[in-house]
């Protein structure tokens, strides 16, 4: 019985591009009490492997958080399994806005202490007493009400390429970092309405419950996050108050919601909103790069990294042995960009 992937990633990526069927990328989550996370994890791995599902899934006692791609020939079977399982009966299957079917190349399911790294103690508040969910139309209407603040619960590199108009955009690396910052801000502002949004809804779910515990009564959250909002905007043909791209945590790096390009290339300052990882594996810094700079720097973040990737592979490996690159602890930070002489106007 195989419960983990044992095949090299290069082989897996090759197999993915050789598939003769299409895939559908989607995400889902739910906060539900899971008595034996390891047992459920193993069951999930076996079932999804049968259907050739790829992706990244976290399972914990507090619930499940999944970002996956499902073969279209198996989609009905997958949906039936998820909708019939007692843990996931009522989950919203959030389908990708833009999908090339190449978002994931293997299945990885991990048992975690939490499905969301938030630093909160679940025993101190009711995680099921959440804010009111709003659809796209209702969310747009509520945004126009007086004494209303809209808060982006995503990290700085996510909201840099796309966000709601007039949203508060915390300059943080992680969701955990943003929680005390936002709570302090709200205590100072004391708004009538608090509007939350994130990529797919999971961060809003937990944080809205925490805000209610903190005494904030009028807390609203975007149902299904930006992903579901974008689908509804298109289906209903209403104005999108979200401008730009929606950052996603898979090989696509982003989904376009509107044609607005609100970010700039970190190397030349020209309008751009394509996230890339530095081609130097010893760096791997996440940054925004335009096509011209991608060609000039050969998909690297700096001249230094460009020179390294031109060395023989064996020499590159030797150079990075036993070293932890300074950028490894940050997805993408302006201080790191400045250190390697990238323009960050």
Residues 91-104: pLDDT tens digits? 999 999 988 889 99
Per-residue pLDDT at 333 exceeds 60: no
CB atoms within 10 A of CB 149: 19
| Cα angle 16, 20, 23; round to 5 | 65
Bridge partners of residue 168, in order along the sequence: 151
- What does the alpha-carbon distance between residue 275 and residue 246 come to, in Å, rounded to a whole number? 11
Phi–psi pair at 152, nearest 5 degrees:
-85, 120
CB atoms within 10 A of CB 337: 20
| Contact status, residue 242 vs residue 164, Cβ threshold 8 Å | yes
Indicate if 198 belongs to the active site: yes
What pLDDT does 1 receive? Answer: 63
CATH 3.30.70.100 applies to domain 9-111: yes
- What does the alpha-carbon distance between residue 65 and residue 221 come to, in Å, rounded to a whole number? 18
Per-residue pLDDT at 199 exceeds 80: yes
Confidence of residue 225 (pLDDT cuts 50, 70, 90): very high
Q: How many CA atoms lie within 13 A of 102 on its CB side?
A: 13
Name the DSSP class of 271.
B
Confidence of residue 336 (pLDDT cuts 50, 70, 90): low
What pLDDT does 186 receive? Answer: 95
- What does the alpha-carbon distance between residue 14 and residue 128 come to, in Å, rounded to a whole number? 43
Where do the H-state alpha helices sit in the chain? 9-18, 37-50, 75-84, 136-143, 156-159, 175-189, 202-213, 225-236, 291-296, 303-309, 313-320, 334-339
Per-residue pLDDT at 109 exceeds 50: yes
How distant is the alpha carbon of residue 296 from its chain centre? 29
- What does the alpha-carbon distance between residue 69 and residue 282 come to, in Å, rounded to a whole number? 28
- Looking at the domain 122-244, which fold is it? Oxidized Rhodanese; domain 1 (3.40.250)
Name the DSSP class of 145.
S
The residue extents of the domains of the chain are: 9-111, 122-244, 275-339
Phi–psi pair at 276, nearest 5 degrees:
-140, 160
CB atoms within 10 A of CB 229: 27
The share of the chain scoring above pLDDT 90, in percent, equals: 81
User: Per-residue pLDDT tens for 133-153?
Assistant: 999 999 999 999 999 999 999
What pLDDT does 315 receive? Answer: 81
Name the DSSP class of 229.
H
- What does the alpha-carbon distance between residue 160 and residue 83 come to, in Å, rounded to a whole number? 35
Confidence of residue 337 (pLDDT cuts 50, 70, 90): low
Active-site hit among 198, 278, 293, 305: 198
């Amino acid at each position: 019985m195989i419960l983990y992937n044992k095949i090299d990633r290069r082989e897996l990526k090759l197999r993915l591009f050789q598939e003769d069927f299409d895939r559908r990328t989607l995400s889902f989550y739910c906060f539900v009490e899971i008595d034996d996370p390891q047992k459920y994890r193993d069951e999930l791995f076996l079932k999804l492997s049968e259907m050739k599902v790829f992706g990244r899934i976290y399972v914990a006692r507090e619930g499940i958080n999944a970002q996956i791609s499902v073969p279209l020939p198996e989609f009905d079977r997958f949906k039936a399994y998820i909708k019939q399982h007692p843990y996931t009966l009522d989950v919203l299957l959030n389908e990708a806005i833009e999908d090339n079917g190449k978002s994931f190349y293997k299945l990885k399911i991990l048992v975690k202490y939490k499905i969301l790294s938030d630093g909160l103690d679940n025993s101190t508040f009711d995680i099921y007493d959440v804010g009111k969910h709003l659809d796209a139309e209702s969310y747009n209407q509520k945004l126009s009400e007086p004494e209303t603040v809209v808060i982006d619960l995503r990290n700085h590199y996510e909201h840099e390429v796309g966000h709601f108009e007039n949203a508060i955009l915390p300059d943080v690396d992680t969701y955990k970092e943003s929680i005390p910052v936002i709570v302090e801000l709200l205590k100072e502002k004391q708004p009538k309405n608090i509007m939350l949004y994130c990529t797919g809804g999971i961060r809003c779910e937990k944080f809205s419950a925490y805000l209610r515990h903190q005494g904030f009564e009028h807390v609203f959250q975007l149902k299904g996050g930006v992903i579901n909002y974008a689908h509804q905007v298109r289906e209903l043909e209403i104005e999108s108050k979200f401008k730009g791209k929606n950052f996603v945590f898979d090989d696509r790096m982003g989904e376009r919601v509107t044609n607005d390009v609100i970010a700039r290339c970190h190397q030349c300052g020209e309008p751009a909103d394509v996230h890339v990882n530095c081609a130097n594996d010893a760096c791997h810094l996440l940054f925004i790069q335009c096509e011209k700079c991608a060609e000039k720097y050969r998909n690297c973040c700096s001249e230094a990294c460009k020179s390294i990737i031109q060395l023989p592979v064996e020499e590159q490996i030797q150079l990075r042995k036993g070293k932890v690159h300074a950028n490894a602890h940050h997805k993408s930070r302006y201080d790191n960009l400045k250190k390697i002489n990238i323009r960050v106007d």
